[in-house]
Amino acid sequence: AHTLRSAAALADAGLIAPERLPALERVAAQYAVAITADMAALIEPANEADPIARQFLPQVAELISTPGEDPDPIGDLTHSPVGGIVHRYPDRVLLKPTHTCAVYCRFCFRREMVGPEGLKTLSPDELDAAFAYVAAHPEIWEVIITGGDPLVLSPRRIRDLGERLAKIDHVKVVRFHTRIPAVDPAAITAEMVEALKASGKAVYVALHANHARELTPAARAACGRIVDAGIPMVSQTVLLAGINDDADTLAALMRAFVETRIKPYYLHHHDHAPGTSHLRTGLAEGQALMRAMRGAVSGLAQPTYILDIPGGHGKVPVGPVYLDGPVVEDPQGGIHAYPPGKAV
User: How many residues contact ligand SF4, by CB under 6 A?
Assistant: 12
At closest approach, how far in Å is the CB of 315 from ligand PLP? 5
Helix, strand, coil shares of the chain as percentages rounded to 5?
35, 20, 45
Closest CA to 176 of 195, 155, 198, 151: 151
Contact flag: residue 110 with ligand SF4 (CB under 6 A): yes
Selected from 33, 85, 86, 180, the binder of ligand PLP by CB under 6 A is 86
Rounded-to-integer distance, Cα 132 and Cα 119, Å: 20
Among 110, 111, 179, 220, the one annotated catalytic: 110
User: 144 Cβ partners below 8 Å, 6+ apart?
Assistant: 92, 93, 94, 95, 175, 176, 177
137 binds, among ligand PLP, ligand SF4, none (CB under 5 to 8 A by kind): none
- Catalytic residue among 105, 164, 204, 280, which? 105
Decide if 271 is catalytic: yes
**250 close to 289: Cβ distance less than 8 angstroms:** yes
- The type of residue at 262 is I
d(CA 337, CA 10): 58
Choice from 144, 161, 233, 240 touching ligand PLP (CB under 6 A):
144
74 sits near ligand PLP (criterion: CB under 6 A)? yes
94 near ligand PLP (CB under 6 A): yes
Residue span binding ligand PLP (CB under 6 A) among the ranges 31-39, 42-50, 88-96, 288-296: 88-96
Q: How far is CA 139 from CA 80, 87, 207, 265, in A?
A: 16, 11, 26, 24
Examine the residue annotation and report whether 223 is marked as an active-site residue of this protein. Answer: no
Query: What is the footprint of ligand SF4 within residues 163-182 (CB under 6 A)?
Result: 179
Of 101, 226, 258, 306, the one binding ligand SF4 by CB under 6 A: 101
For the CA atoms of 93, 98, 99, 101, the dihedral, rounded to the nearest 10 degrees, stands at: -110
The question of whether 308 is a catalytic residue gets the answer yes
3-state secondary structure of 304: strand
Query: Is 322 exposed, middle or buried, given 0-12, 13-18 or 19+ CB atoms closer than 10 A?
Result: middle
Q: Is 92 in the site for ligand PLP (CB under 6 A)?
A: yes
Question: Given the rule CB under 6 A, which residues bind ligand SF4?
Answer: 101, 103-105, 108, 110, 114, 147-149, 179, 208
Catalytically annotated residues: 88-89, 92, 101, 105, 108, 110, 271, 308, 315
Question: Given the rule CB under 6 A, which residues bind ligand PLP?
Answer: 74, 79, 86, 88-89, 92, 94, 144, 315
